[in-house]
């Protein structure tokens, strides 16, 4: 008798938990995917279907005209290329300098305890407070509306976060690995490149993702510092809200296009992150 009760409890538990779990996951899934789906469907709908009632869940005649409009008429393609140039360059620079600085802070305690905090404190500043000074400086230096200008600004703004992410990473890395390399025949510099950096790859990847996303989605600085040449993808969206009304189709098409690099990056980096997590110092 007791065993049947136990069995029944066990069986009902087995049956119940997955149901709730599946329901919960499905809800989360919907929450994330529904807007994405709607954006995608809107991007391929003929304009007449946008506000149709009942809503059109999938168009009878899918079209690419909105992509054409977004990329060429609204010059979204240029924005995409500019965004790629600026975001990738800023990410590379930010991670490069971030890694060097974080290593120096973690290993040599450069600047004592205050420098590392000062670096982070740069993030406390509201960006709007410095955008005008930067604009004026850039005008004097001829950096307005150039890739270099925007790369420079993005590198500086993302540096505190990449420094801090890498700082935490280097600090938990056992010193003995680099010391072994020093005794083995490395200089400080080669022990850094051959031992510390390869082991910090997961941290560098995490910092790179963070930096890239921050640059890719940045709107405010791009709006102020660029106009006709170096404008980035987010600033293109501005044009879809015009006196002619909202350009739903083009906006959706460009949104989908802007997702592609992030998805590619995510897929590439995911493998690396998993590989990176299994690395880690060998200890007894």
Partner 1 sequence: MAEVRITGLHKRYGAFHAVKGIDLDVPDGEFTVLVGPSGCGKSTLLRTIAGLEEASDGTIEIGGEVVNDFRPRDRDVAMVFQDYALYPHMSVGNNIGFGLKARGMPKPEIAARVGEAARMLGIEPLLDRLPRHLSGGQRQRVAIGRAIVRNPRIFLFDEPLSNLDAQLRDEMRGEIKRLHHTIATTMIYVTHDQIEAMTLADRIVLMRDGLIEQQGAPLELFERPANTFVAGFLGSPRMSFINGRLARSAEGYVVRIGDLAMPVPAGRTLDGASDGQEILLGLRPEHLTRSQGDAPPPGCVRHEVQIELLQPTGSRSYATFRLAGEPVIAELQAHDVSRPGEHVPIDINMQRASIFDRRSERAL
Residues near partner 1 (CB under 8 A) are 174, 176-177, 179-187, 190, 194-195, 198-199, 278-284
Q: Which residues pair with 251 in a beta bridge?
A: none
For partner 1, the closer of residues 185 and 245 by Cβ is: 185
3-state secondary structure of 174: coil
281 neighbors 210 (Cβ within 8 angstroms):
no
Cβ proximity to partner 1: between 13 and 283 the closer is 283
Between 156 and 197, name the residue whose CB sits nearer to partner 1.
197
CA dihedral 151, 154, 160, 161 (to 10 degrees): -110
**Least distance to partner 1 from the beta carbon of 92, Å?**
22
* Residues 123 and 169: beta-carbon distance below 8 Å: no
To partner 1, the closest distance from the beta carbon of 283 in angstroms equals 5
CB 90 within 8 A of CB 151: yes
Closest approach, Cβ 190 to partner 1, in A, equals 6
Residue 104 or 155 having the CB closest to partner 1: 104
Considering the complex, state which of residue 187 and residue 270 has its C-beta at the smaller distance from partner 1.
187
Which CB, 55 or 198, lies closer to partner 1?
A: 198
Cβ proximity to partner 1: between 56 and 182 the closer is: 182
Longest dimension (CA), the chain: 88
Cβ distance 145 to 227 under 8 Å? Answer: yes
213/85 Cα distance (integer angstroms): 13
Closest approach of partner 1 to the CB of residue 195, in Å: 6
Q: Tell me how far, at minimum, the Cβ of 102 lies from partner 1, in Å.
A: 19
* Secondary structure letter of residue 53 according to DSSP: S
Structure-token match 């010391």, residue found: 179
C-alpha to C-alpha distance for 142 and 47, rounded to whole angstroms:
42
In whole angstroms, how close is the CB of 273 to partner 1 at the nearest point? 15
Smallest gap from residue 95 Cβ to partner 1 (A): 18
Q: Name the β-bridge partners of 115.
A: none
Q: What single DSSP character describes residue 212?
A: H
Q: Directed axis angle between helix 147-171 and helix 76-108, to 10°?
A: 40
**Tokens 């293109």 belong to which residue?**
236
């Amino acid at each position: 008798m007791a065993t049947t009760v136990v069995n029944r409890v066990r069986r009902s538990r087995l049956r119940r938990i997955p149901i709730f779990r599946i329901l919960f996951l499905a809800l989360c899934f919907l929450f994330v995917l529904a807007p994405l789906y709607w954006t995608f469907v809107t991007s391929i709908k003929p304009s007449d279907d946008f506000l149709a009632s009942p809503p059109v869940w999938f168009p009878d005649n899918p079209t690419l005209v909105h992509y054409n409009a977004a990329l060429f008429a609204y010059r979204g393609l240029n924005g995409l290329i500019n965004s790629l140039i600026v975001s990738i360059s800023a990410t590379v620079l930010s991670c490069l300098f971030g890694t060097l600085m974080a290593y120096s802070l973690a290993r040599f305690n450069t600047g004592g305890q205050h420098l590392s905090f000062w670096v982070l404190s740069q993030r406390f500043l509201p960006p709007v407070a410095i955008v005008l000074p930067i604009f004026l400086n850039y005008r004097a230096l001829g950096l307005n509306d150039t890739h270099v200008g925007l790369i420079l600004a993005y590198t500086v703004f993302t540096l505190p976060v990449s420094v801090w992410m890498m700082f935490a990473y280097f600090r938990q890395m056992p010193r003995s690995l680099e010391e072994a390399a020093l005794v083995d025949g490395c200089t400080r510099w080669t022990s850094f490149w051959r031992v510390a950096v390869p082991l910090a790859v997961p941290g560098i990847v995490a910092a790179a993702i963070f930096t890239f996303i921050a640059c890719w989605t940045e709107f405010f600085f791009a709006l102020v510092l660029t106009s006709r040449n170096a404008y980035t993808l987010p600033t293109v969206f501005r044009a879809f809200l015009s006196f002619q009304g909202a350009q739903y189709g083009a906006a959706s098409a460009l949104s989908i296009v802007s997702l592609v690099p992030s998805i590619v990056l995510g897929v590439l980096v995911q493998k690396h992150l998993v590989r990176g997590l299994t690395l880690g110092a060998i200890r007894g």
